[in-house]
């Protein structure tokens, strides 16, 4: 049954908060920003219809403070909550509290978030649904169990946190004698990062591509995919550049992966937008995880499909059917996204400080999603991402040329950023040819490349 949404509290900050505000405004829905004392002068506070302070700069006392967020929604008279990405976006308990308080959670059901948030249960569910998974185990009960599994699967293997994500708690093991100690280290890291020390073993793929499929599903049983994204350029398991569509897939493999993603969503009765992620090893692919939220890189999908994913997310939460989305989608050209971070371009360490000068690129086919401005103080309290540069071209070659031009126009002064790294990547033959994998940076960012990046930065 349709339940119209009138006013949305955005339980987030930065560019994603602005993105939701824009979607709400175009849908005729009021928006309520929340902010910490550090963010009192942030753009999402200025552009929302209303704003409520939810605590001090420390995220645990503001953006992660569920009672304060619910109180803000009640004070503002909001009837829905959008979690954005990060913070509480995949916390099933937050979605449950919202529902108990009569607030529409703009996202999937809590049980789907909980299921996909547990990597072991997610693997088991996908295997039952006929979605390929890598050889692996359930939660390890002892280091000896890990050794037995590694002997069965074959080295190398990777240890992963059951409740994990973002590369935390992940350990690659190539020497069987080191496995017991590595299990204990991974368990300790998982416990510290997620409050859950359970880990499991999986076969390690040496040179995979990281491919994800955008899913949109309504509460009436309708599920559609909006094509795939290539996310293989990473550092420390964190995405740096994303593009759509992928250039590394045959048409047959592309269709198989998209069909598997739809099958995965249908198997759990998923509702809302979501992303099913896969590792591709040659002509084989394997389920990795499902992200039950809007992704940072959703923009490249929007550029090649013409679909406003955040607006669709809001529509679906109100109970509307897929409608115009319930059809086969084909890519319109090619899109590339660069994550521009306040960080050292080689060491990747965060670089907080004041932006003294700023120029965003523009022109045909160029989009910048950002929350920063000249004079903006980049806080050490939060994620270092400053902006997302998204370019679109009729084909990949033209998109890359546009990417280079836009990166040249992009100016951030006062702090270090990874702009020189992006400019360097855009000129690398392996990137231009599209034949890269998840080890791109560790393979090509050698001493000479580091020197080149640093010289550009200076």
Question: Which tokens is 240 given?
Answer: 């740096």
Query: What's the pLDDT score for residue 284?
Result: 97
d(Cα 442, Cα 257) in Å, to the nearest integer?
Answer: 27
Residue 403 in contact with residue 336, Cβ under 8 Å? yes
C-alpha count within 13 angstroms, C-beta hemisphere, residue 434: 16
Of 431, 450, 447, 449, nearest to 439 (Cα)? 431
Q: Which residues of 360-379 are buried (b: 16+ CB within 10 A; e: fewer)?
A: bbeeebbbbbbbbeeebebb
Residue 135 in contact with residue 153, Cβ under 8 Å? yes
The set of residues, in sequence order, having a beta carbon less than 8 Å from that of 336 and lying 6+ positions away, is 241, 242, 243, 300, 390, 391, 399, 400, 403
Query: What's the pLDDT score for residue 325?
Result: 84
> Tens of pLDDT along 256-267?
999 999 999 999
- Check whether the bond before 156 is cis (ω within 30° of 0): yes
d(Cα 145, Cα 404) in Å, to the nearest integer?
Answer: 50
Reported pTM: 0.96
Residue 140 in contact with residue 201, Cβ under 8 Å? yes
Q: What is the DSSP string of 231-256?
A: EEEEETTEEEEEEES-SSS-HHHHHH
Residue 290 in contact with residue 274, Cβ under 8 Å? yes
Query: What's the pLDDT score for residue 458?
Result: 60
Euclidean distance between the first and the last CA atom of the chain, given in angstroms as a whole number: 58
Of 73, 85, 92, 90, nearest to 33 (Cα)? 73
> Tens of pLDDT along 92-115?
999 999 999 999 999 999 999 999
The dihedral over CA atoms of 238, 242, 245, 250, expressed in degrees to the nearest 10, equals -50
Query: What's the pLDDT score for residue 169?
Result: 79
* Domains defined along the chain, listed by start: 7-106 (3.40.50.20), 135-203 (3.30.1490.20), 209-457 (3.30.470.20)
d(Cα 366, Cα 406) in Å, to the nearest integer?
Answer: 7
d(Cα 214, Cα 274) in Å, to the nearest integer?
Answer: 6
Of 382, 379, 387, 380, nearest to 410 (Cα)? 387
Residue 251 in contact with residue 338, Cβ under 8 Å? no
> Tens of pLDDT along 315-343?
999 999 998 787 788 999 999 999 999 99
Backbone conformation region of residue 227, classed left if phi is above 0, alpha if psi is from -120 to 50, else beta: left
Q: Exposed (0-12), middle (13-18) or buried (19+): which is 66, by Cβ within 10 Å?
A: middle
d(Cα 191, Cα 41) in Å, to the nearest integer?
Answer: 36
Q: Collapsing DSSP states into helix, strand and coil, what is residue 125?
A: helix
Q: How far is CA 180 from CA 63, 71, 177, in A?
A: 38, 47, 7
Q: How far is CA 134 from CA 116, 235, 278, in A?
A: 16, 22, 10
Per-residue pLDDT in tens (0 to 9) along the chain, 458 residues? 568 999 999 999 999 999 999 999 999 999 999 999 999 999 999 999 999 999 999 999 999 999 999 999 999 999 999 999 999 999 999 999 999 999 999 999 999 999 999 999 999 999 999 999 999 999 999 999 999 999 999 999 999 999 877 777 799 999 999 999 999 999 999 999 889 999 999 999 999 999 999 999 999 999 999 999 999 999 988 999 999 999 999 999 999 999 999 999 999 999 999 999 999 999 999 999 999 999 999 999 999 999 999 999 999 999 999 987 877 889 999 999 999 999 999 889 999 999 999 999 999 999 999 999 999 999 999 999 999 999 999 999 999 999 999 999 999 999 999 999 999 999 999 999 999 999 999 999 887 778 888 777 66
Helix spans in 142-291 (H): 143-153, 179-194, 251-267
- Check whether the bond before 336 is cis (ω within 30° of 0): no
- Based on its alpha-carbon atoms, the radius of gyration of the chain, rounded to whole angstroms, reads 22
> Tens of pLDDT along 347-380?
899 999 999 999 999 999 999 999 999 999 999 9
Which residues carry out catalysis? 293
């Amino acid at each position: 049954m349709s339940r119209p949404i009138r006013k949305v509290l955005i339980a987030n900050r930065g560019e994603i908060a602005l993105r939701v505000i824009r979607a709400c405004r175009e849908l005729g829905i009021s928006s309520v920003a929340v902010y910490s004392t550090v963010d009192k002068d942030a753009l999402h506070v200025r552009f929302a219809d209303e704003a409520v302070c939810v605590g001090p700069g420390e995220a645990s006392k503001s953006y992660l403070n569920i009672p304060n967020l619910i109180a803000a929604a009640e004070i503002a008279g909001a009837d829905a909550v959008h979690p954005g990405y990060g913070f509480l976006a995949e916390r099933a308990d937050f979605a449950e509290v919202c529902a108990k308080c009569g607030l529409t959670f703009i996202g999937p059901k809590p049980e789907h978030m909980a299921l996909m948030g547990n990597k072991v249960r997610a693997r088991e569910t996908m295997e039952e649904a006929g979605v390929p998974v890598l050889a692996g185990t359930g939660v390890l009960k002892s280091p000896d169990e890990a050794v037995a599994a590694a002997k069965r699967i074959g080295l190398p293997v990777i240890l992963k946190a059951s409740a994990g994500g973002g590369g935390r708690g992940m350990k690659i093991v190539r020497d069987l004698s080191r496995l017991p100690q590595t299990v204990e280290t991974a368990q300790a890291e998982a416990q510290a990062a997620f409050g859950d020390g359970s880990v499991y073993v999986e076969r390690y793929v040496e040179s995979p591509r990281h491919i994800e499929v955008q899913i949109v599903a309504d509460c009436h049983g309708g599920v559609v995919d909006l094509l795939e994204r290539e996310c293989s350029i990473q550092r420390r398991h964190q995405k740096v550049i994303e593009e759509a569509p992928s250039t590394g897939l045959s048409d047959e493999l592309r269709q198989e992966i998209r069909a598997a993603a739809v099958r995965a969503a249908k198997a759990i009765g998923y509702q809302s937008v979501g992303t099913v992620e896969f590792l591709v090893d040659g002509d084989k692919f394997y389920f990795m995880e499902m992200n039950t939220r809007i992704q940072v890189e959703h923009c490249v999908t929007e550029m090649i499909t013409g679909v406003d994913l955040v607006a669709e997310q809001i529509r679906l939460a109100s109970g509307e059917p897929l409608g115009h989305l319930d059809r086969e989608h084909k890519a319109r050209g090619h899109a590339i996204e660069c994550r521009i971070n306040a960080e050292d371009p080689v060491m990747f360490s965060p670089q907080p400080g004041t932006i003294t000068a700023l120029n965003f690129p523009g022109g045909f086919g160029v989009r910048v999603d950002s929350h920063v401005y000249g004079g903006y103080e980049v806080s050490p309290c939060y994620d270092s991402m400053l902006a997302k540069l998204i370019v679109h071209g009729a084909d990949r070659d033209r998109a890359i040329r546009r990417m280079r031009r836009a990166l040249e126009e992009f100016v951030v002064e006062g702090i270090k950023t990874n702009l020189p790294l992006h400019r360097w990547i855009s000129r690398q033959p392996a990137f231009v040819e599209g034949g890269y994998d998840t080890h791109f940076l560790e393979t090509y960012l050698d001493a000479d490349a580091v020197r080149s990046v640093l010289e550009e930065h200076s």
